[in-house]
Amino acid sequence: MQKIIEQEAEDFFKNSGEFLRNVGVDNVIFGYHDKELKVLLQRPFSLDKWTVTGGYIKRTESIEEAANRIAFSRTGLKDLFFQQFRSFGSPKRVADEEFTAKYLEEVLSVPVPADSWIFDYFVSVAFYTLTEFSKVQPKKGELEAACQWWPVSDLPPMMFDHAMIIAEALKALRLHIAHYPIGYELLEEKFTLPEIHSLYETILGKSLDDRNFAKRLMATGIIIKLNETKKIGAHRSPFLYKFDKEKYEEGSNTESFNLNILSLKP
Amino acid sequence: MQKIIEQEAEDFFKNSGEFLRNVGVDNVIFGYHDKELKVLLQRPFSLDKWTVTGGYIKRTESIEEAANRIAFSRTGLKDLFFQQFRSFGSPKRVADEEFTAKYLEEVLSVPVPADSWIFDYFVSVAFYTLTEFSKVQPKKGELEAACQWWPVSDLPPMMFDHAMIIAEALKALRLHIAHYPIGYELLEEKFTLPEIHSLYETILGKSLDDRNFAKRLMATGIIIKLNETKKIGAHRSPFLYKFDKEKYEEGSNTESFNLNILSLKP
DNA sequence: TGAATAGTGTCTTTAAGACAGTATATC
DNA sequence: GATATACTGTCTTAAAGACACTATTCA
């Protein structure tokens, strides 16, 4: 296990002033792969409980900058699409005695008082971030034992209230899907109709009529059909499509834009 | 001007531990009166700038409890309808030198260091609250010179980023209007069709066809027509209506509920 | 009886939803 | 030509939108 430098650690656990107290950022990073929506989770040393990515807020940065910095530190990617969706705060939300004890006993190379600010009541400003799964090489932090993708539909044991945070992030994502071209963030640049169809089915958790979906999708006017196909083996090759980001920005500005895809039935 | 007790004040400005650091709650309290949407604002001593109601979070309470406590302290009413809509946080958002200077010089009866936690970088978790205008007797706090209603369409000079916070609250309210019976919170128990019609026009900032509005409103099934009318002078007396709160709760739980009123065109 | 406001019905247009057959690629 | 997947067109149904007249109150 990699130890952090002692002086740095001591400063950190005293919070000599780099970070805000009692408030932090959690960032639920979503990716899509293999017809499954996935979320990037990390696990602290010595514990069999996972957390969403998150961290403290520097005095010199905004909460959005903090969320962006956290996403970058775990995915290596800049300027990902992210959205604030809710804040969580209650005296009980980070009470986890097992975590505190293990953290103190086993993980750290420096003495940390049990009443250190890091175990304090924290309000969490929560964001979700969308990223293309295939571009990400998850990178764990110094204080974590692991950082990896988990299917949203099959999560490991979660620490604190993080299972609820993921549930809320998913709810927000499902709402936003009607107003943002979510596919742009989660798919590769060129994608097929069946791929984006399946993405929407996965996120919404229900099946969507393929004919109506295609009709609606093309009606948005922000998708361009390319003159190429993708080879998929012993079957008809699907055409490739891409987003017309320019047209999207226009529509998005005038508020006339609506994917109208939320209401699609089965 | 009412001075706060010295020892209490000193404790407060040192923050001996009652409140969370670097994070607080702002609560945009809306009321409706005289065909105008109003917001409850307060003004600190010696300044000609106003703020939305807000405050610090006690270590013993959740952010929702803090928002509720703040609403109660200004309106005297309990259990009002409120919704969290966004959090704001950036190193610059509460930088207002005039405020800091005047506060230090003129307002307080105790010495406050210029680097006191209250002038620090604060993340604000923002809520809006709805209340029936006629029930409220605005009550100012000890550190304010005034607390009163202002029309949303004609605000006084606002401190910090509070004009933006109100704008965002209004945006959220307009979105929520399609899914919550906003009228229940803003109107008196019994109301007329023209009254609720005008409320929706005010909140959405556009005119709504009266025939279609009535049709849609009654189609929700959560409004009961009473066998009484309201005398309004030399004109036909409108019938009174009230919300069927029970039916609303049902519909609201099953997610089948939708006022569908957002899309009403002129 | 005139002035002001309350209240309601019908037709048109548009969008949602259901549904099934043809096309293409490979073996 | 068998099989697996891609692709698309039409009809039905429901909701949104436009529109104008009758009803009541009281000065």
B206 CB-to-strand D distance under 7 Å: no
Contact across the interface for A89 and B22, Cβ inside 8 Å? no
DSSP class of residue B46 equals: T
Contact across the interface for B63 and A121, Cβ inside 8 Å? no
B35 CB-to-strand C distance under 7 Å: no
Report, in ranges, which bases of strand D sit under 7 Å from a protein C-beta: 3-10, 15-20, 23-27
Nearest chain B residue to A59 by CA distance is B91
Find the nucleotide nearest A210 (Cα to C1′): D7
B217 CB-to-strand D distance under 7 Å: no
Distance CA B53, CA B67 (A): 9
B18, B24, B261, B9: which is closest to B127 by C-alpha? B24
Both tokens of residue A129? Answer: 């971030």
Lowest model confidence (mean pLDDT) among A20-34, A149-163, B94-108, B131-145? B94-108
Of residues B20, B123, B125, nearest to A121 (C-beta): B20
A21, A28, A51: which is closest to A121 by C-alpha? A21
Output B24 or A5, whichever has higher pLDDT.
B24
* B48 has pLDDT over 80: yes
B192 CB-to-strand C distance under 7 Å: yes
* Buried residues in B129-153 as b, exposed as e (16+ CB within 10 A): bbbbbeebebeebebbeebebbebe
Is the minimum CB–CB distance between A123 and chain B shorter than 8 Å?
yes
Is the minimum CB–CB distance between B15 and chain A shorter than 8 Å?
no
Distance from CA of A37 to the nearest CA of B (A): 24
Is the minimum CB–CB distance between A205 and chain B shorter than 8 Å?
no
B256 CB-to-strand D distance under 7 Å: no
Distance CA A199, CA A207 (A): 10
In Å, the largest CA–CA distance within chain A is: 64
User: Any idea which residue has 């620490």 for tokens?
Assistant: A159
A265 CB-to-strand C distance under 7 Å: yes
Q: How many CA atoms lie within 13 A of B255 on its CB side?
A: 1
Distance CA A44, CA A16 (A): 23
CA of A96 to C1' of C19 (A): 54
Is the minimum CB–CB distance between B59 and chain A shorter than 8 Å?
yes
* Average pLDDT, rounded, for chain B: 87
> How confident is the model at residue A56, as a pLDDT?
94
Distance CA B125, CA B161 (A): 13
The low-confidence residues of chain A, meaning pLDDT below 50, are 1-5, 255-256
Identify the burial level of A231 via C-beta atoms within 10 angstroms of its C-beta, where 0-12 means exposed, 13-18 middle and 19 or more buried. Answer: exposed
* Buried residues in B35-52 as b, exposed as e (16+ CB within 10 A): ebbbbbbbbbeebebbbb
| Interacting residues of B192 by C-beta distance below 8 A, sequence separation 6+ | B230, B238, B239, B240, B241
B211 CB-to-strand C distance under 7 Å: yes
Q: Which residue is nearest to nucleotide D4 (CA to C1')?
A: A235
Distance from CA of A87 to the nearest CA of B (A): 7
Q: How far lies A164's CA from each of A51, A86, A158, in Å?
A: 11, 11, 9
Task: Please tell me whether residue A210 adopts helix, strand or coil conformation.
Answer: helix
Report, in ranges, which bases of strand C sit under 7 Å from a protein C-beta: 2-10, 15-20, 23-27
* B5 has pLDDT over 60: no
Helix (H) / strand (E) containing B172? helix B162-176
CA of B259 to C1' of D24 (A): 29
Contact across the interface for A20 and B20, Cβ inside 8 Å? no
- Contact (CB, 8 A) for A86 and A124: no
pLDDT band (50, 70, 90) for residue B248:
confident
Both tokens of residue A232? Answer: 């998929």
> How confident is the model at residue A1, as a pLDDT?
37
> How confident is the model at residue A117, as a pLDDT?
76
Averaged pLDDT, B207-219: 92
Output B60 or B181, whichever has higher pLDDT.
B60
Sign of CA dihedral A72, A173, B125, A49: negative
**For residue B7, which phi and psi values (nearest 5 degrees)?**
-65, -45
Identify the burial level of A189 via C-beta atoms within 10 angstroms of its C-beta, where 0-12 means exposed, 13-18 middle and 19 or more buried. Answer: exposed
Phi-psi region of A163 (alpha: psi -120 to 50; beta: other; left: phi over 0): alpha
Is the minimum CB–CB distance between B61 and chain A shorter than 8 Å?
yes
Distance CA B31, CA A185 (A): 40
CA of A195 to C1' of C26 (A): 20
Distance from CA of A55 to the nearest CA of B (A): 15
CA of A211 to C1' of C19 (A): 10
Q: Mean pLDDT: which of A201-205, B3-7, B194-198, B248-252 is highest?
A: B194-198
Is the minimum CB–CB distance between A204 and chain B shorter than 8 Å?
no
- Contact (CB, 8 A) for A23 and A138: no
CA of A236 to C1' of C24 (A): 5
Output B200 or A1, whichever has higher pLDDT.
B200
Confidence (pTM): 0.91
* B98 has pLDDT over 80: no
Q: How many other C-beta atoms lie within 10 A of the C-beta of residue B106?
A: 11
Distance from CA of A207 to the nearest CA of B (A): 19
Averaged pLDDT, B240-261: 73
Contact across the interface for B60 and A20, Cβ inside 8 Å? no
DSSP class of residue B12 equals: H
Distance from CA of A249 to the nearest CA of B (A): 20
Both tokens of residue B32? Answer: 């409706």
Averaged pLDDT, B217-234: 92
Find the nucleotide nearest A237 (Cα to C1′): C25
Is the minimum CB–CB distance between B125 and chain A shorter than 8 Å?
yes
Phi-psi region of A193 (alpha: psi -120 to 50; beta: other; left: phi over 0): alpha
Contact across the interface for B20 and A61, Cβ inside 8 Å? no
Distance CA B259, CA A252 (A): 25
Q: Which residues of A touch B125 (CB under 8 A)?
A: 87, 89, 123, 125
Q: Mean pLDDT: which of A6-20, B62-76, B217-231 is highest?
A: B62-76
